[in-house]
Amino acid sequence: MTDFVSSLHEALISQYLARPEADQEPYYSVSDSLRLYADSLWSDTGEANKAVQRLLSSGRGEAMDALGQQWDKVMNKDVGSTTAVARVSAVTAYELGEIIAVAKAEITEVAASCAVSTGAQLAGGALVFGVADDVVATAVSQAQTLARKVVARCQQLVVAKLGRLQRDPAVAALGSVAADLAGAIGGQARDGAADAGTGRAWGKDLASGSGRAAEGVHVDHAEHERAAKRLREVADEVFDTTSTTLRDAVHDHATGAQSGALGAAIAATLGTVLDDLTQATKAIGDYLDDTLPAGILLISSSQQSTDDDVKRRMSELDR
């Protein structure tokens, strides 16, 4: 009986009633994938943080201080914004699915009421009515009015939900993550690798270019090598598992966008957020794979160059 009634209601809806032009299931899947993505990215960057904190505890100096300040900014601003956007988007995607599902359930109730008042049934797959045509016309018209109101309310709720997502401060800041990381001090240090012997790294003097050892500077070269290696390993995880979960969300979102006009309208906003998440994730991966390790190794090589210069000058004095 349940299957029969369901088929009857579906026939009434498809032939006479409006309903939200979007499937809810893709948005539930988007939500699940974004939650997994946020957890994975936070775990990855947590491992990176362990490597950086161990490195910072192994040495001292202005360049190390600058490294610590830069890393704090990356974690608190860039990584923080990215994971926050993923989590709020996951909630939004789930709520969008719920809005669509509730609207469809309400329209099914409208169809059920219409079926009763018109004596509707399926005969050989065809929809037939058991009351006079004028009664059918009135009942169907009333059902159509109710269904249109449900759809309009659904659309209003969707627009409100997407507007709230757009106004979220983390979402507003997400577009700048890639640019922030591309212009980070580490990137400047990497690009200035030709100046490694001058004692410059992370925007700070490691030691004077004159060959005098900087006071209070200590660099454990092995720890710098270890940190750079570990950060690149973490970057591999960002590019692999973490990025895969985000791609799953993008794929499910595309399915939702293709499910109807409402899905396409949702994509105009949610799709932009997913695009920004994709760019931010790549930027974080690139930063951990290249920019940050390069800056860390530059600190080591700059100090090593200064140490070697000091040794050379001292040996000349002994002659």
Q: d(Cα 169, Cα 96) in Å, to the nearest integer?
A: 20
pLDDT score recorded for residue 196: 34
Inform me whether the pLDDT recorded for 310 exceeds 90.
Answer: no
pLDDT value of position 77: 93
At 299, the pLDDT band (50, 70, 90 cuts) reads confident
List pLDDT tens digits, range 244-295: 999 999 999 999 999 999 999 999 999 999 999 999 999 999 999 999 999 9
pLDDT at residue 240 in the model = 97
What average pLDDT is seen over the chain?
A: 86
Percent of the chain with pLDDT over 70: 82
Q: Residue 60 pairs with which residues in a beta bridge?
A: 218
Judged by average pLDDT, the poorest of 20-24, 60-64, 249-253 is: 60-64
Task: Quickly state the pLDDT bin for 201 (edges 50, 70, 90).
Answer: very low
Mean pLDDT along residues 81-88: 97
Q: What is the pLDDT of residue 219?
A: 76
For 123-167, the pLDDT digits (tens) are 988 999 999 999 999 999 999 999 999 999 999 999 999 999 999
Q: Say yes or no to pLDDT of 102 above 60.
A: yes
What is the number of alpha carbons within 13 Å of residue 74 lying toward its C-beta? 31
Residue 89 has pLDDT above 50, yes or no: yes
pLDDT tens, residue by residue, 237-246: 999 999 999 9
Tell me the average pLDDT across 307-312.
49
Rounded distance between C-alpha atoms, residue 174 and residue 281, angstroms: 10
Q: Which residues of 236-258 are buried (b: 16+ CB within 10 A; e: fewer)?
A: ebbbeebbebbebbbebbbebbe
* φ, ψ at 119 (rounded to 5°): 60, 35
Could you read off the pLDDT of 39-57 as tens digits, one per residue?
999 999 999 999 999 999 9
Give the highest mean pLDDT range of 8-12, 189-193, 249-253.
249-253
pLDDT at 192 over 70: no
Encoding tokens for residue 301?
């090589």
pLDDT at 197 over 80: no
Per-residue pLDDT, 64: 87
Weakest-pLDDT range from 102-111, 193-202, 286-295, 309-318 = 193-202
Predicted local confidence at residue 60, as pLDDT: 81
Q: Tell me how far apart the alpha carbons of residues 221 and 229 are, in angstroms, rounded to a whole number.
A: 13
Distance CA 52, CA 185 (A): 15
